[in-house]
Amino acid sequence: MSDIYVRLGVRRIINAYGTNTRLSGGLMAPDVLAAMAEASRACVEMHDLQAAASRAIATATGAEAGIVTGGAAAALLLGAAACMARLDPAAMNRLPDSAGLPNEFVVVRSQRNMYDRALRAAGGHVVEVGIPDRFSGPGVRDASAGEVAEAITDRTAAVFHLAGENAEPSLPDVVRVAHARGVPVLVDAAAQLPPAANLRRFIAEGADLVCFSGGKALGGPQASGILAGRRDLVASALVQMLDLDLPEAQFVAPAEFAALNQLRFLPHHGIGRAAKAGKEEIVGLIVALLRFAAEDPAARTARWTARLEALRAAVPGAVLVHDGAKPGLPLLELRLPDRAAAVRAEAALRARDPAVHLDASRIRRGVLAVNPIALDDDDLPLLAAVLKECCA
């Protein structure tokens, strides 16, 4: 199955960490892969394919429109570009030079993260609000909706919101103050699946744009993502990604992106050119999204739990828990005597061939965890034996 990696001289890993980018994401179901192979054998016009993606994304998320991008970070970059340039082709042609445009993104300080670089890469400026002293210890508060409202000015392009169980203020509160000032809300929900209900939740709560990773729990191509939301903003994002190097009169936007027929002129390769998704990724993501949306969430959790049950017996004291931040995602925790023991076990596992990568996000507490999302069922017997040796 991994012959290609043998031929290339690349050591395979058993990915029990999760769908991390540096560990190559997860695995695709055979029908997703088959759809990608099929897509690779014929050519289409990319805006027609993105219109099909838009229909699938709209159905799955409840959004007016959607496009497939080269990842959630690419979707963030394009979403930020759309919030700044809107449907002004001159502005699109200028980005990332955003001088004179509304180019500020109001961000709650506790939600700053390494992916928000995408806002700046598009030409945006981050304006932080709030003192999150509930995290630093002395206080109990985070930013308030009032502080977000206070930071909105004529220069504001959007309010950025990092979705998460502990996000404060809540998305509905952020939407209320942003919309009162006529400003869109851009939501990073890249890793907020499961629960599957989150596909619709952020749009239902009023987000103008939301992005999801295609290569995480959705099970799509590693280098794919979704940008979903308001039709005018998604159309702006799309046109900033398309190759429009053609005589202007030839371009007729599909009905899903009809707003593009109103552009004063056609922009050139936009800021999103560096974030392109190919036809194979777009088709793969559509099929993965349909598959994810169709699977009963309880059945998905049961499928993941069965993998962990197959490992639990190997390590006495291993505990099946639920990831508090991701309802529906079970984890198998291996509780080692202390941090040093966990560090030693983790290093020993990574030194093997195939290397075994466990979720080490709680290693400070002496805990290593098995995340079932990116595991191959065929690897379970080997993984059980290895865990017995290293962690029992």
Ligand X SMILES: *Cc1c(COP(=O)(O)O)cnc(C)c1O
Tell me how far, at minimum, the Cβ of 19 lies from ligand X, in Å: 8
Q: For ligand X, what does the binding mask look like between residues 176 and 205, x meaning CB under 6 A?
A: ------------x-xx--------------
User: Does 111 help bind ligand X (rule: CB under 6 A)?
Assistant: no
Torsion over CA: 229, 231, 232, 235 (sign): positive
Taking the least distance from each CB to ligand X, the nearer of 193 and 332 is: 193
Q: Answer yes or no whether residue 126 interacts with ligand X by CB under 6 A.
A: no
Q: According to the binding rule CB under 6 A, does residue 71 interact with ligand X?
A: yes
- Alpha-carbon torsion, ordered 217, 171, 70, 15, to 10 deg: -30
Q: Taking CB under 6 A as the rule, does residue 112 contact ligand X?
A: no
Q: How many residues does the chain have?
A: 392
Does residue 213 bind ligand X (CB under 6 A)? yes
Cα separation, 222 vs 84, whole angstroms:
28
* Minimum gap (Å) between residue 360 Cβ and ligand X: 16
Q: How far is residue 195's CA from residue 212's CA, in Å, rounded to a whole number?
A: 13
Rounded least distance, CB 236 to ligand X, Å: 20
Work out whether 251 is an interface residue with ligand X (CB under 6 A): no
Under 8 Å between Cβ of 374 and 213: no
What residues does 158 pair with on adjacent strands?
105
Binding segment for ligand X (CB under 6 A), chosen from 36-44, 66-74, 252-260, 297-305, is 66-74
Beta strands 13-16 and 355-358 are parallel
* Residue 115 contacts ligand X per CB under 6 A: yes
Site map for ligand X, 224-243, x if CB under 6 A? -x------------------
Q: Which residue, 234 or 342, has its beta carbon nearer to ligand X? A: 234
Q: With beta carbons less than 8 A apart as the criterion, state whether 53 and 67 touch.
A: yes
- Candidates 102, 130, 184, 215; binder of ligand X (CB under 6 A) is 215
What would the DSSP string read from start to end of 183-230?
Answer: --EEEE-TT--SSTTHHHHHHHTT-SEEEEESSSTT---TT-EEEEE-
Q: Which stretch binds ligand X (CB under 6 A): 68-76, 132-140, 340-348, 360-368?
A: 68-76
Which of 124, 215 has the CB closer to ligand X? 215
Tell me the C-alpha distance between 144 and 169, whole Å. Answer: 6
Q: 104: closest CA among 145, 155, 174, 160?
A: 155
With contacts defined by CB under 6 A, name the span among 69-77, 142-150, 317-325, 377-385 that binds ligand X: 69-77
Kindly state whether residue 26 participates in binding ligand X, applying the rule CB under 6 A. no
Binding site for ligand X (CB under 6 A): 21, 71-73, 115, 188, 190-191, 213, 215, 225
